[in-house]
Amino acid sequence: MLELKKVICILLIPLFLLSGVVLAEKPFSDLPVDQQILLILTTLKYNKTFMNRLNDIKQIKIGFFHTHSPESLKARSEVIGAFENTFKNKTFYSRPLVIEAISDISAIKSGRYHVLIVGPGSEALIPEILDATRENKIVSATGVTEFMKTGISLVVGLKENMKFLGINLKSSKQENCRFSPTILQLALILDK
């Protein structure tokens, strides 16, 4: 009887451990691109600083930062395509939405964007990108869940098949964002 228990334990423990590894392997995943853009735009409504500036804004300018890696260029095509298909003639509080693909930090420093979405393949440039968004008070955002711990202010994605919004409070404050308590209660705070 004791031998049978040992055999069962020997067989079940690795199975149990492996199932835990599979479940814990990727608790976060990326949303479809059109949903990423929608969730980022929706979050802007809860940024008090942005909403207070809205009277001075004629159009909402979104930059999509990409590198020239194949993964990043593919994401650029997906984002621009999703924007054209879903948001082209849409407005945000009666302001037209405009998106531009950019691959140069100097474009961020121009200050002409309200939101900068950081695409995949940009890991090495994130510190420089964030310096520019903080200096120019541009909201940094991404749909790349692997970037959750990089200091980007808004991260959107899926957790256990449910949409989530992550907010880095320290970074968002440096970008002059003041999010309402309503959105903070719903968000995953990334810099606890």
The answer as to whether 4 is a domain residue is: no
**CATH number of 151's domain:** 3.40.50.2300
Flag whether pLDDT at 86 surpasses 80.
Answer: yes
Helical segments of 69-168, H only: 70-82, 105-109, 126-136
Residue 5 has pLDDT above 60, yes or no: no
Q: pLDDT value at position 11? A: 42
Residue 169 lies in a domain: yes
Collapsing DSSP states into helix, strand and coil, what is residue 21? Answer: helix
8 inside domain: no
Q: Is residue 6 part of a domain?
A: no
Which pLDDT score is estimated for 24? 42
Is 50 exceeded by the pLDDT of residue 120? yes
* Residue 5 in domain: no
Instruction: Decide if 64 is inside a domain.
Output: no
Percent of the chain past pLDDT 90, that is, above it, reads: 81
Inter-CA distances, 83 with 10, 41, 191, Å: 53, 12, 30
pLDDT in tens, 155-186: 999 998 899 999 999 999 999 999 999 999 99
Region of residue 164 (left: phi > 0; alpha: psi -120 to 50; beta: else): beta
Q: What is the pLDDT of residues 44-73, one digit of tens each?
A: 999 999 999 999 999 999 999 999 999 999
Q: Give the pLDDT band of residue 27 (cuts 50, 70, 90).
A: confident
Does residue 93 sit within a domain?
yes
> How far, in Å, CA of 133 to CA of 139, rounded?
7
Predicted confidence band at 88 (pLDDT cuts at 50, 70, 90)? confident
Domain assignment present for residue 165? The answer is yes
What mean pLDDT comes out for the span 140-158?
96
Q: How many domains does the chain have?
A: 1
Q: Averaged over 104-118, what is the pLDDT?
A: 95
Q: What is the CA radius of gyration of the chain?
A: 20
- Give the residue, 23 or 95, on which the prediction is more confident: 95
Q: Residue 26: its pLDDT value, please?
A: 57
pLDDT more than 70, % of the chain: 86
Q: Is the pLDDT of residue 191 over 60?
A: yes
Mean pLDDT score of the chain: 88
How far is 133 from 31, CA to CA, in rounded Å?
A: 23
Least trusted range by pLDDT, from 16-20, 82-86, 99-103, 135-139? 16-20
Full domain range(s) for residue 132: 30-50+74-189
